[in-house]
């Protein structure tokens, strides 16, 4: 039985745990065996405290035996991106800057998972401080795409997606500032949801760009993604942008076959690989055949999305990362000197190249004489993009595009060209700028590489997006897919 546990969905594992045919300890032992066999190859995890996992599993089994099970996630491992705080576990953001840090507290989502009985299972690799689209910017290790180990898994939540595709864990948490959940989900053939801004508390998420960051669930099926979302979403006074309770977002959504789906004009044009366009067009044809109303919508300011995002995100990052000064926590340079020299040396030694690049860019767009030309204009463009999306979503239930223009590229292929890498996020960025929920659903392959489509809905329309994803998933063979390793 141990050989097949890693192929099962969280939903199925939960049913077996509830029926008493499986224990959390047996499940965790099977996953630890798989971790030992595969993590060096895939590189999804940066840390796994096996003794702690088994202690959590034993506690879960004891609760269940005593009739005190905490719900559908009881005893199920959830792996966590290394920018989300879990008390007693490393919190490195895959950066040398935070290499020595062990979190002294739980994030809100970690509290929610503990309250649901889930096993907090290991730390997942990421681009340093979530800045990147390939996980090549990790200062700790490389992560490889389980479908082709010569290729990137996407990023920045590359570890979260690769762990699922490799069958190392049934559920994972990512964070998404410009596509960092959805882009790796698409590249690894799994489901990833960026919730409405404010649906899930950011308390305990290391800040990159606070007006854009959201934590979200990742899984191998829509059912599992929804299971995790339900556990995470709740009000939290420690994040003033978290509005919970989220009943409206999670309420049953009605008949998915009556959904109205908008296709943004021109989005399948230049820059989209033919195989990606074909898979997405097939998904559109599927929804039309199911009875959904398909129409074309106009989003005329879409070309502004990437520059707007990289002004807003780097501006916020340059401010948020000002806190890393080598004084209170994280790396401190051994070179002596004045406090300012110590801070400068600590930051220069602790941050990697992409983080430095973004801090410099963000510092520039906020600097005297340039803030009006860049930052303020980006805020105005953001409002315009948001207005266009909300206007389009007044006439349809959701928008459908590719998640990423091309399949996963080879490791190192775009490492020297940051602008090319920024353009990976062209379809995912607008949902962050507008605070909208967005879901990546596996929809086919380009050769052996997974392809996903992307649904964006109005605020708090998560249930509709998941219903649309479920309709597609039920008719196709992409749920629960794993790479052969």
Residues 318 to 337 in contact with another protein, rule: CB under 8 A: 318, 322, 325-332, 336-337
Q: Is 243 in the site for another protein (CB under 8 A)?
A: yes
416 part of the active site: no
Q: Pull the structure tokens for residue 46.
A: 């940066």
Q: Which stretch binds another protein (CB under 8 A): 101-109, 135-143, 284-292, 397-405?
A: 101-109
To another protein, the closest distance from the beta carbon of 50 in angstroms equals 24
Q: Is 344 in the site for another protein (CB under 8 A)?
A: yes
Q: Which stretch binds another protein (CB under 8 A): 72-80, 100-108, 133-141, 216-224?
A: 100-108
From candidates 384, 413, 445, 446, binder to another protein by CB under 8 A: 384
Contacting another protein within 421-460 (CB under 8 A): 422, 434-435, 459
Which member of 134, 157, 180, 318 is catalytic?
A: 180
Here's the x/- map for another protein, 44-63, by CB under 8 A: it reads as --------------------
172 part of the active site: no
270 part of the active site: no
| CB proximity list for 217: less than 8 A, separation 6 or greater | 171, 172, 173, 192, 193, 224, 225, 226, 228, 229, 232
Instruction: Give whichever of 382 and 470 is closer to another protein, judged by the CB atom.
Output: 382
Secondary structure letter of residue 452 according to DSSP: E
Which member of 9, 81, 172, 318 is catalytic?
A: 81
Contacting another protein within 145-204 (CB under 8 A): 196-198
- E strand or H helix at 13, and its extent? helix 10-19
| CB proximity list for 122: less than 8 A, separation 6 or greater | 35, 45, 47, 48, 49, 53, 79, 80, 169
From candidates 107, 308, 401, 440, binder to another protein by CB under 8 A: 308
DSSP β-bridge partners for residue 131: none
Q: How far apart, in whole angstroms, are the C-alpha atoms of residue 23 and residue 43?
A: 27
Q: Which stretch binds another protein (CB under 8 A): 43-51, 117-125, 142-150, 240-248?
A: 240-248
- Residue at token pair 């206007």: 391
Residue 419, class by beta-carbon neighbours within 10 Å (0-12 exposed, 13-18 middle, 19+ buried)? exposed
Helix residue ranges, H only, 44-139 = 50-65, 108-115
The count of C-alpha atoms lying within 13 angstroms of the C-alpha of 69, restricted to the half-sphere facing its C-beta, is 18
Determine if residue 179 is left, alpha or beta; phi over 0 gives left, psi from -120 to 50 gives alpha, anything else beta. Answer: left
CA nearest to 227, candidates 380, 409, 71 = 71
Q: Which stretch binds another protein (CB under 8 A): 23-31, 142-150, 352-360, 402-410?
A: 352-360
From candidates 33, 50, 210, 241, binder to another protein by CB under 8 A: 241
Q: Is 80 in the site for another protein (CB under 8 A)?
A: no
Q: Is 239 in the site for another protein (CB under 8 A)?
A: yes
- Residue at token pair 């399949």: 407
Secondary structure letter of residue 246 according to DSSP: -
Residues marked active site are found at 81, 156, 180
């Amino acid at each position: 039985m141990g050989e097949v546990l890693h192929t099962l969905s969280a939903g199925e594992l939960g049913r077996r745990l509830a029926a008493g045919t499986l224990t959390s300890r047996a499940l965790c032992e099977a996953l630890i065996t798989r971790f030992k066999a595969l993590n060096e190859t895939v590189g999804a995890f940066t840390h796994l405290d096996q003794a702690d996992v088994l202690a959590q599993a034993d506690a879960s089994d004891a609760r269940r035996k005593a009739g005190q099970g905490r719900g559908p996630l009881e005893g199920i491992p959830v792996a966590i991106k290394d920018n989300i705080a879990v008390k007693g576990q490393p919190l490195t953001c895959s950066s040398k800057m935070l290499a020595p840090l062990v979190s002294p507290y739980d994030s809100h989502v970690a509290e929610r998972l503990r309250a649901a009985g889930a096993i907090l299972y290991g730390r997942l690799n990421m681009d340093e401080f979530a800045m990147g689209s390939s996980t090549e910017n990790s200062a700790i290790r490389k992560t490889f795409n389980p479908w082709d180990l010569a290729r990137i898994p996407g990023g920045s939540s590359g570890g979260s997606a690769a762990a699922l595709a490799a069958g190392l864990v049934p559920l994972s948490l990512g964070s998404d500032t410009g596509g960092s959940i959805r882009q790796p989900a698409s590249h690894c053939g799994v489901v990833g949801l960026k919730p409405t801004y404010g649906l899930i508390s950011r308390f305990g998420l290391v800040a990159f760009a606070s007006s854009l960051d959201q934590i979200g669930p990742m899984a191998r099926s829509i059912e599992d993604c929804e299971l995790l979302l339900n556990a995470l979403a709740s009000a939290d006074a420690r994040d003033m942008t978290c509005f919970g309770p989220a009943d409206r977002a999670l309420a049953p959504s009605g008949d998915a076959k009556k959904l109205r789906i908008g296709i943004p004009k021109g989005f399948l044009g230049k820059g989209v690989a033919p195989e990606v366009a074909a898979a997405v067009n097939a998904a559109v044809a599927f929804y039309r055949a199911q009875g959904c109303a398909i129409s074309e919508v106009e989003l005329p300011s879409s070309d502004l999305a990437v520059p707007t995002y990289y002004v807003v995100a780097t501006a916020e990052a340059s401010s948020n990362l000002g806190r890393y000064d080598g004084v209170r926590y994280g790396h401190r340079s051994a070179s002596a000197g004045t406090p300012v020299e110590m801070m400068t040396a600590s930051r220069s030694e602790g941050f990697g190249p992409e983080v430095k690049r973004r801090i410099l860019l963000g510092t520039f767009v906020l600097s005297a004489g340039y803030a009006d030309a860049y930052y303020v204009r980006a805020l105005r463009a953001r409002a315009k993009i948001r207005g266009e999306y909300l206007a389009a979503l007044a006439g349809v239930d959701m928008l459908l595009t590719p998640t990423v223009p091309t399949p996963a590229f080879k490791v190192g292929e775009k490492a020297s060209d940051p602008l090319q890498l920024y353009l990976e996020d062209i379809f995912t960025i607008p949902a962050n700028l507008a605070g909208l929920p967005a879901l990546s659903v596996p929809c086919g392959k380009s050769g052996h590489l997974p392809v996903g489509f992307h649904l964006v809905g109005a605020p708090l329309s998560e249930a509709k997006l998941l219903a649309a994803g479920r309709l597609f998933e039920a008719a196709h063979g992409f749920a629960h897919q794993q790479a052969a390793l």
